[in-house]
A and B are shown apart, each in its own frame.
Chain A
Amino acid sequence: MSTTDNAKPVRKDPAALKAADWADGRLGIYGLAKANLRKIFPDHWSFMLGEIAMFSFIIVILTGVYLTLFFNPSMGEVVYDGEYVPLQGVHMSEAYKSTLDISFEVRGGLLIRQIHHWGAIVFVAALVVHMMRVFFTGAFRKPREINWLVGWTLLFLAMFEGFLGYSLPDDLLSGTGVRFMEGAILSTPLIGTYLSFFLYGGEFPGTDIIPRFYSIHILLLPGIMVGLFVVHLFLVIYHKHTQYPGPGRTNSNVVGQPFMPVYMAKAGGFMFIVFGVISIMAAIATVNPIWAYGPYRPDHVSTDAQPDWYMGFAEGLIRVMPGWEINAWGHTLALGVFIPAMVFPLVLLAIGVYPFIESWITGDKREHHLLDRPRNVPVRTGLGAAWISLYILLLIGGGNDLFATHFHLSINAITWFIRIGIFVVPVLVFMATKRICLGLQRRDRDKVLHGRETGVIKRLPHGEFIEVHEPLSQDRLYVLTQHEQPKPFKVEGAVDENGVARKVKLTDKLRARLSRGYFGEGGQIPKPTAEEHAEITSGHH
């Protein structure tokens, strides 16, 4: 090979290089590549969670485009005469019929439909788990607050996008969800009936809702989401990825492997892995078998009527709310429906605004690129765990009928448990998590000062048994002690030089109180200092 190459005259630029030069002359791609081709991406399994979301989003878009080629978003009524025998002769909408046709008469149609549905389920799940990773490691801190909001908005939209999507086939299960939506809209004070009539184009169900959902589902929301997704990725690249603390990893560097080729191969490969796994899920597990539900009719319903999992917590709110209703001055306020409909976005908003609350409490204006170990911020970790417990309780509430039938419990008892639990359980979870974090901090401190327990028992000459502790490596010592331990914020000059109390702003008082909770005595275990370590280790040897 090489001898023949040498024999030839100097080769001209290959075609690919020519193309690159051509593009550079018009787009300046070399400048872009200089900054990004060898850009460093840190590696950690938990950074993959966001990638799962990204790649499942892509596969959902691709399969969604395919489905639009066959789906007919019309509520025009037809009598089914297709291949699925049990439904022949049944009145149904064209939307439902075309979904049956995709499932039974288009080769591979069922597979793509199931990839689309499974992909959506995985997408929202990955979004939530990714958000939890970002939350617990404090990756949302400056300069990434805006990207947190972008991601949060994506999650919020993804849930509605999913709801709209599974409503489109106009089957009995999803139609029940659309009916629920009508009830929720009707409960809005003053304008509820008008909103409902405008959205449904008249009385429920009408013939407009599926076509309207369709344009929102395939155009409006995906358009916004793709835009946000691009912004999200751009900001990840612009800010450079966060990294876990470790030897050589500081707040002003990023340690990892270059975009080309390592990250390209790993992330690109991972994309195919996600695609592959979702395809296999669609091959072996049926999702949303609309043919088994039948077409929607407002006077029919099936038991076990459950939304897709990401709407489950909203369903829980609706189910456990007592049926409060106020009738006065000729008007009705259906609090039993309206309150859960309002609390539903608040549950998500609570976690969406958290970064701003935390930065107000800490007053920290610096950039943070090193992630927190969750144990080192016990209050934040406790709040996150409490939020998850609330979310899970509401999910259980949303499936109270399934829990009742599968575990042979009284549905009334489950409902009452959730009603009380949503106020009590998050508080207990917060306290328990905070204590666990403090315990882990104590253990870290112990390990730094006394070394790792080896499990080796030694008998001393005078008969005493001791366990041998092995001192930690410098790397471990650094990792366990690199974190900051801020002092709580104190209101300056609450008392003037004469000892007379001055007026202190209420917000400052609140901030000082919260800051004490975060960083005061009960909020963190003082990390060992080098002097303590030196004293103890010199004493031992």
Chain B
Amino acid sequence: MSSDDIKGGNLPDRPTGHSGEVEETGTPSFPDPGLPPHQPRRQDIDEDAAARSERAIAFMFTLSMLATIGFIASFVVIDRTTIVHIWPFGHVNALNFALGLTLGVALFTIGAGAVHWARTLMSGHEIPQERHPIAASPELRQQVLADFAEGAKDSVLGRRKLIRNTMFGALALVPLSGVVLLRDLGPLPEDKLRHTLWGKGKQLINQNTGLPIKPSDVTVGSLVFAVPEGLEEEDHDFLEQIAKAALMIVRLNPDDIKDKRERDWGYEGIVAFSKICTHVGCPISLYESQTHHVLCPCHQSTFDLADGARVIFGPAGHPLPQLRISVNEEGNLQALGDFDEPVGPSFWERG
């Protein structure tokens, strides 16, 4: 380090130093007794103990070699699908267990040997070394400032203002190209977050059976997940569509529904709400049929399905959007249109 060149620095030493703004109260109470004398270790005076240390270290290094051989042997011998029961870990993959343990032992014993070596056989003497102040000496500082001033003068940057100003302008503008290049990272949002696959006449398809849902299929107390008719798992945009269109259907006793609009938008007490939480978009999946509450397992926003899916607890900011449903000629549940408000988390343009 270059600090070695500046000898004889005057770092503030505890007993006398007062170079900062800090005012110290009182004088140092007790003098520094200085470094305590070195206490010899057993290995320093007893050759037998030192030899024992050497053997212990060699043992650990040997163990490491054996563990590495064990690692390679396990890799070759153990079938990767074998599951074994090892107390207290339970059923584990034998290969993973053997590889990890042998590798761990091989590494650990190298480390343990080296540390034991350092602690017992290498010199235990504590040595003091001087520190040097980080900051430059006043002379050096002056010299650097003078050099800088000369360089600055030489550059005529201060005098030729036109160069300076246009250079700053050019340097400020050039990163804009990089910003512009980021434009094609994605399309503009437009109104994509406002629309889902739901529309007038789309049948509600039971997510588990893949069949249209008849009102009689939906019983009080059960929670049914539905997707719009025509959406298949193989579709290239399936995940984007299901992320908005996921629907949950429950049947309530019509008299239990406190919200008039909710009752009107349902069918004989069957109501359909977006499954996507209005907080940050987790799918809501916990339904308590007695209270008609649904709970999002991610952040515990709780909605009252009997009262327009109002938020009754948690961090969500507004109710779950409801889908207007009725029954078509075939007697299956169908949507009467898209959601009338965006589903999922809030965003600036939502309004």
Contact partner, A273, options B28, B108, B301, Cβ 8 Å: B108
Q: How far is the CA of A84 from the CA of B113 in the complex (A)?
A: 41
Contacts A248-B35, A400-B300 given: A334-B80 contact, CB under 8 Å? Answer: no
Does B40 make an interface contact (CB < 8 A)?
A: no
In A190-208, the 8 Å CB interface with B consists of 190-194, 196-206, 208
Contact partner, A486, options B23, B101, B131, B207, Cβ 8 Å: B23
Q: How far is the CA of A373 from the CA of B318 in the complex (A)?
A: 51
Contact A107 B80 (CB under 8 A): yes
Task: Give the interface segment out of A10-18, A20-28, A159-167, A259-267.
Answer: A259-267
Contact A35 B4 (CB under 8 A): yes
Does B210 make an interface contact (CB < 8 A)?
A: no
Contact partner, B26, options A91, A475, A477, A485, Cβ 8 Å: A485
**Total number of A residues with any Cβ neighbor in B under 8 Å:** 137
Contact B110 A325 (CB under 8 A): no
In B265-309, the 8 Å CB interface with A consists of 275-276, 279-283, 285-286, 297-301
Q: Annotate A78-111 by CB proximity to B: 1 below 8 A, 0 otherwise.
A: 0000010000000100000000000011011011
Contact A262 B122 (CB under 8 A): yes
Does B33 make an interface contact (CB < 8 A)?
A: yes
Contact B282 A526 (CB under 8 A): no
| B188 neighbours in A (Cβ, 8 Å) | 194, 197
Contact A325 B106 (CB under 8 A): no
Contact partner, A366, options B17, B106, B301, Cβ 8 Å: B17
In B209-243, the 8 Å CB interface with A consists of 225, 227, 233-234, 236, 239-240, 242-243
Contact A481 B28 (CB under 8 A): yes
Contact A297 B239 (CB under 8 A): yes
Q: Separation in Å of the B115 CB from the closest CB of chain A?
A: 4
Contact B281 A333 (CB under 8 A): no
Does B168 make an interface contact (CB < 8 A)?
A: no
Does A336 make an interface contact (CB < 8 A)?
A: yes
Q: Separation in Å of the B220 CB from the closest CB of chain A?
A: 23
Task: Give the interface segment out of A217-225, A279-287, A427-435.
Answer: A279-287
Contact partner, B345, options A186, A283, A401, A478, Cβ 8 Å: A186
Contact A283 B97 (CB under 8 A): yes
Contacts A257-B127, A301-B282 given: A111-B96 contact, CB under 8 Å? Answer: yes
Q: Separation in Å of the B38 CB from the closest CB of chain A?
A: 11
Residue in A closest to B282 when the chains form the complex, CB atoms: A301
Does B155 make an interface contact (CB < 8 A)?
A: no
Contact partner, B240, options A204, A250, A276, Cβ 8 Å: A204
Does A447 make an interface contact (CB < 8 A)?
A: no
Does A303 make an interface contact (CB < 8 A)?
A: yes
Residue in A closest to B95 when the chains form the complex, CB atoms: A107
Q: How far is the CA of A202 from the CA of B28 in the complex (A)?
A: 68
Q: Separation in Å of the A90 CB from the closest CB of chain B?
A: 10
Interface size class of B (residues with CB under 8 A): 35 or more
Residue in B closest to A186 when the chains form the complex, CB atoms: B347
Q: How far is the CA of A256 from the CA of B107 in the complex (A)?
A: 27
Contact B118 A248 (CB under 8 A): no
Task: Give the interface segment out of A128-136, A177-185, A378-386, A499-507.
Answer: A177-185
Contacts A35-B4, A193-B349, A411-B300 given: A269-B110 contact, CB under 8 Å? Answer: yes
Contact A180 B118 (CB under 8 A): no
Does B180 make an interface contact (CB < 8 A)?
A: no
Does A253 make an interface contact (CB < 8 A)?
A: yes
Contact B4 A193 (CB under 8 A): no
| A485 neighbours in B (Cβ, 8 Å) | 24-26
| A484 neighbours in B (Cβ, 8 Å) | 14, 22, 24
Residue in A closest to B100 when the chains form the complex, CB atoms: A283
Q: Separation in Å of the A228 CB from the closest CB of chain B?
A: 20
Contact A325 B318 (CB under 8 A): yes
Q: Separation in Å of the B243 CB from the closest CB of chain A?
A: 4
Residue in B closest to A412 when the chains form the complex, CB atoms: B313
Contact B281 A475 (CB under 8 A): no
Q: How far is the CA of A362 from the CA of B22 in the complex (A)?
A: 7
Contact B345 A194 (CB under 8 A): no
Contact B31 A478 (CB under 8 A): yes
Does A277 make an interface contact (CB < 8 A)?
A: yes
Contact B114 A265 (CB under 8 A): yes
Contact A247 B34 (CB under 8 A): yes
| B349 neighbours in A (Cβ, 8 Å) | 193, 330-332
Contact A104 B80 (CB under 8 A): yes
Contact partner, A323, options B22, B23, B99, B279, Cβ 8 Å: B279
Does A152 make an interface contact (CB < 8 A)?
A: no
Q: Annotate A242-260 by CB proximity to B: 1 below 8 A, 0 otherwise.
A: 0000011111111111100
Q: How far is the CA of A362 from the CA of B23 in the complex (A)?
A: 10
Does B208 make an interface contact (CB < 8 A)?
A: no
Residue in A closest to B235 when the chains form the complex, CB atoms: A77
Q: How far is the CA of A77 from the CA of B240 in the complex (A)?
A: 13
| A330 neighbours in B (Cβ, 8 Å) | 349, 351
Contact partner, B14, options A110, A298, A370, Cβ 8 Å: A370
Does B39 make an interface contact (CB < 8 A)?
A: no
Contacts A252-B131, A277-B104 given: A261-B118 contact, CB under 8 Å? Answer: yes
4 smallest CB-CB distances across A and B, nearest first, come from: A283-B100, A183-B280, A276-B108, A269-B114
Name 19 A/B residue pairs within 8 A (Cβ), A-sorted: A40-B127, A110-B93, A186-B345, A247-B35, A250-B14, A252-B9, A253-B131, A254-B129, A254-B131, A299-B207, A299-B242, A318-B315, A323-B318, A332-B346, A334-B345, A337-B279, A474-B31, A484-B24, A529-B27
Known: A276-B105, A332-B346. 12 other contacts (CB 8 A): A204-B243, A240-B129, A240-B131, A251-B12, A253-B131, A254-B131, A255-B35, A268-B114, A279-B101, A298-B242, A401-B297, A475-B36
